[in-house]
Amino acid sequence: MRHLLSTADLSRAEAVRVLDVAEQMAATQQREIKKLPTLRGRTVVNLFFEDSTRTRISFETAAKRLSADVITFSAKGSSVSKGESLKDTALTLQAMGADAVVIRHGSSGAPLRLARSGWTSGAVLNAGDGTHEHPTQALLDAFTLRRHLVGGGPGGGPAADRVGADLAGKHVVVVGDVLHSRVARSNVHLLHVLGARTTLVAPPTLLPIGVETWPCEVSYDLDAALRGDVQGPVDAVMALRVQLERMDAAYFPSAREYSRRYGIDAARLALLPPHASLLHPGPMNRGLEITAEAADGARSRIVEQVTNGVAVRMAALYLLLAGEDA
C-alpha cells in the first residue's frame, strides 16, 4: 500500500492485514509504556480542512504512540482562511518534509488529488473527504465487529483466534443519513470485501443516487431490517449521524418523525439477537438518531470504537511508513 484513500481500493488480504496489525497494536496499548520507537524520525502532518475531534486526536495519538513527529494543521487560523489553495498548502508541507499527510477535506476526491498530483512525496491517508469515503473509520468499525463477532465472541477471546479472519457471513444494518455519509460508503465497500452482508436503511430522501449499484441491500423499514426480514438475522447495527450541517434542504418532515421511524432506541435493540452490537461513528445527536438509553446500553460499542480507532490508525501508519517501499 502506498496511500490509504478508499476502502474500495483494498483487497481482502490488505484489509485483513490492517486488522491483524491493529490487533497487535491494540495489545501494545494495554501496556504501561504505550510508546513504540517504530516511526522515530518520521513526520506526520494532520491536514484538517474540516472540523473534527476524534479523528484528528485519534490520528495524532496513533502517530505519537509510534514516535513520529506530528504537525497538526487546521484550516481555521491558517493561511487557508486567507485563500491559500490546497496545492500551495501541500507544497509548503512538502518543503517541510512530511512523510505522511493525513487529510480531511470538505471536497470529495481531495485526498486523491493530493496523492496523484506530485505535490507531496509522502503517503496520503484519507481522514474523510466530502461525502466520499472515510476508510480508517470503516476499518475501525470492522475491527470492532471482528473482535465481537469472530473467535472468542463478545468482548473478544485471545487475539490469535481472530488473526487472519474476515467477517464472512455476518450481517450489518447501517441506518441513517446515508446520502451525506462517507462512513456508510466506506463501510459498504469494506464489509463487502470482508464477506459480510450490509443492509442500508434510510428514508428515500437520504439515499444517494446510484445506491442500487452498491454491493448491499436497501430498505426503508428499520423494524423489518432489524427483525431479519430483509437479509436474515442481524449481527450489528450502525447508526449514522444526521448531518444537519450538510443539509441544504428539508430531507425529512421533522426531527421527531425521523427519530420515530429511523432512530435507534431500546425497543428496537430488543428486536436483535442477544449477541448483536450497536455502533455509531460519532459525534452523536442524542435524541435524534440514537437515544441516550441505547447509546449507553450494554450493546453499545461506541466508546470502544474510539479506543480501537487509535490501534487501527497505528496499523495504517505502520503499514504505509515502516517498510522499504514506504
Partner 1 sequence: MAGARPGDDRTAPLVHTAGPTPRSATVLDAAEVSRALTRIAHEVLERNKGPEGLVLMGIPRRGTHLARRLAERLAQVEPAFDAEACTGSLDVTLHRDDLRRNPTRTPEPTRLPATGIDDATVVLVDDVLYSGRTVRAALDALSDLGRPRAVRLAVLVDRGHRELPIRADHVGKNLPTSTAERVFVHLAETDGEDAVLIEGPTERHAEGEER
Q: Which residues bind partner 1 (CB under 8 A)?
A: 17, 20-21, 24-25, 27-28, 31, 33, 35-38, 66, 159-160, 318-319, 322-326
Which residue, among 1, 113, 131, has the nearest Cα to 47 in the 3D structure? Answer: 113
CB closer to partner 1, 37 vs 77: 37
Tell me the closest approach of the beta carbon of residue 36 to partner 1, in angstroms.
5
Q: Which is nearer to partner 1, 216 or 321 (CB)?
A: 321
Closest by CA to 65, choosing from 23, 35, 27, 25, is 35
For residue 31, the minimal CB distance to partner 1 (Å) is 7
Q: Which is nearer to partner 1, 10 or 226 (CB)?
A: 10
Nearer to partner 1, 110 or 123 (CB): 123
Give the nearest distance from C-beta 321 to partner 1 in angstroms: 9
Name the one residue in this structure whose C-alpha cell is 462517507.
Answer: 182
Looking at the Cβ atoms of 25 and 202, the one nearer to partner 1 is 25
DSSP 286: B
Q: What are 31's strand-pairing partners?
A: none
Phi, psi dihedrals of residue 265, rounded to the nearest 5°: -130, 180
Q: How would you class 107 by CB atoms within 10 Å of its CB: exposed for 0-12, middle for 13-18, buried for 19 or more?
A: middle
Least distance to partner 1, CB of residue 278, Å: 29
CB atoms within 10 A of CB 301: 21
CB of residue 186 vs partner 1: minimum separation in angstroms?
A: 22
Nearest CB to partner 1, comparing residues 38 and 107:
38
3 state DSSP class of 161: helix
End-to-end CA distance of the chain: 8
Instruction: Using alpha carbons, select from 127, 181, 123 the residue that is nearest to residue 318.
Output: 123
Closer CB to partner 1, 31 or 82, in the complex: 31
Compute the least distance from the CB of residue 311 to partner 1, in Å: 12
Cell of 314: 497505528
- Give the neighbor-by-neighbor strand order of the sheet with 277-279: 217-219, 197-201, 171-175, 236-239, 277-279
DSSP character at residue 180:
T
Q: At 205, is the secondary structure helix, strand, or coil?
A: helix
Least gap, CB of 259 to partner 1 (angstroms): 43
Report residue 114: phi and psi, to 5°. Answer: -65, -40
CB of 282 to partner 1, least distance (A): 28
74 strand-pairing partners: 48
**Nearer Cβ to partner 1 (271/322):** 322
